[in-house]
Copies of this chain bind each other. A is one copy, B any other.
Amino acid sequence: MARILVADDHDLVRETLAAYLEAEGIADVRVCSDVAEAEALIAGTGAFDLVLLDYNMPGMEGLKGMTRIMAANAGRPVALISGSISTEVAEDALEAGAAGFVPKTLSSRSLVAAVRCMIGGDIFAPVSLIKKPELGEEGLLTPREMDVLRGVCTGQSNKEIARVLDLQEVTVKLHVKTMSRKLGAKNRTHAAMIARDRKLI
């Protein structure tokens, strides 16, 4: 059973999160309402498998509080609870090593998924905040190939894709072929699955 620390000065948010997580039986949840308390808890009971921090909370001082908590938590993931968070803060937070963001608006199911994700070491953030992962491999895809890939991923035929993009079917075929090559796929179905796996749809 994972140990999770929820630090938020809003009673409602804190208790709701804790209740969700405990109800699912995936975690032993501790709560607190400011940064100092959080540090004390970590120091007193050892590192948590995941720490969820409210960005607007006594003692946070922007990301400084988060980095302090991260240092205290010995490398285990620390994420922000984001009511609404600016994209700059989000980028900086990810830069600083945050494990992700838990929107307060998240459904319980998604919350559990997100928490599992982060405990496992993955980064969880709203897609809009994630910057392109390594362009090294996927960057190979040209814009047009991406358009076609999106069509392929929804199960459209070349003809349908051509209609949507206002192209000739042959052109779509060309893009499907080159795009599949670049992804190392055997065919369109394979390409679609690879795209889904790498989340580049």
Q: Which of B122, B128, B193, B196 contacts A154 (CB 8 A)?
A: B193
Asked if residues B127 and A193 are in contact (CB atoms below 8 Å), the reply is no
Q: Which of B12, B19, B23, B189 contacts A188 (CB 8 A)?
A: B189
Asked if residues A157 and B123 are in contact (CB atoms below 8 Å), the reply is no
Asked if residues A193 and B192 are in contact (CB atoms below 8 Å), the reply is yes
Interface residues of A in 95-131 (CB under 8 A from B): 104-110, 112-113, 116-117, 122-128, 130
With A and B bound together, what is the CA distance between A88 and B124 in angstroms?
A: 30
List of B residues within 8 angstroms of A125 by Cβ: 108
Q: Which of B23, B155, B189 contacts A186 (CB 8 A)?
A: B155
Asked if residues B20 and A152 are in contact (CB atoms below 8 Å), the reply is no
Chain B: minimal CB distance from A105 (Å): 4
With A and B bound together, what is the CA distance between A181 and B128 in angstroms?
A: 34
Q: Is A87 an interface residue (CB 8 A)?
A: no
22 cross-chain CB contacts under 8 A: A12-B107, A16-B110, A19-B127, A23-B127, A104-B109, A105-B112, A105-B116, A106-B113, A107-B117, A107-B122, A107-B123, A108-B126, A110-B122, A153-B189, A154-B190, A154-B193, A155-B185, A155-B186, A155-B190, A155-B193, A188-B189, A189-B189
| With A104-B113, A107-B122 already in contact, 12 other A-B pairs whose C-beta atoms are closer than 8 Å | A23-B127, A24-B127, A106-B113, A108-B125, A108-B126, A108-B127, A109-B123, A109-B130, A153-B193, A155-B193, A192-B192, A196-B196
